[in-house]
Amino acid sequence: MLMLRVITAFVLLVILCFSVWAGPLCFAGVMAVGFGLALYEWLRIGNLGPVPAALVSAVEMVTQFSLYWAGALPRMEWFLFIVNGVVMIAWFAIFIAELLHRSTGFKVSVRQCLLSAVVFVPAAYLSLLYLFEIGDWVLVLSVLLIVWGADISAYFCGRAWGKHKMCTAISPKKTWEGAIGAYVIVIVFFLLTYWFCDQNNVFTNFLFDQAGFFWGVVTLALLVALSIAGDLWESMLKRLAGIKDSSNLLPGHGGFFDRLDASLPVLPAATWIMLAVMLSK
Residue-number span of the structural domain to which 123 is assigned: 2-279
What is the total count of domains within the chain? Answer: 1
pLDDT tens digits in sequence order for the chain, 281 residues long: 567 777 888 888 899 889 999 999 999 999 999 999 999 999 999 999 999 999 999 999 999 999 999 999 989 999 999 999 999 999 999 999 999 998 888 888 888 999 999 999 999 999 999 999 998 899 999 999 999 999 999 989 988 998 889 998 898 889 999 999 999 999 999 999 999 988 888 999 999 999 999 999 999 999 999 999 999 999 999 988 888 888 888 887 789 999 999 999 999 999 999 999 999 87
| Torsion 258-9-172-188 (CA) sign | negative
| Per-residue model confidence (pLDDT) at position 123 | 96
| Per-residue model confidence (pLDDT) at position 190 | 95
- What's the whole-model pTM score? 0.95
Nearest to 230 by CA among 141, 117, 139, 140: 117
Question: CA angle at residue 10 from 159 to 20, to 5 degrees?
Answer: 120
Report the distance separating Cα 98 and Cα 86, nearest Å.
18
Q: To which H or E segment does residue 172 belong?
A: strand 171-175
Q: How far is CA 208 from CA 129, 195, 265, in A?
A: 23, 10, 20
| Per-residue model confidence (pLDDT) at position 2 | 60
| Residues constituting the chain | 281
Q: To which H or E segment does residue 263 belong?
A: helix 263-279
| Torsion 23-24-25-26 (CA) sign | positive
| Per-residue model confidence (pLDDT) at position 172 | 87
Cβ atoms of residues 15 and 27 within 8 Å: no
Report the distance separating Cα 64 and Cα 126, nearest Å.
7
Q: To which H or E segment does residue 174 belong?
A: strand 171-175
| Per-residue model confidence (pLDDT) at position 198 | 83
Report the distance separating Cα 49 and Cα 52, nearest Å.
6
Report the distance separating Cα 142 and Cα 144, nearest Å.
6
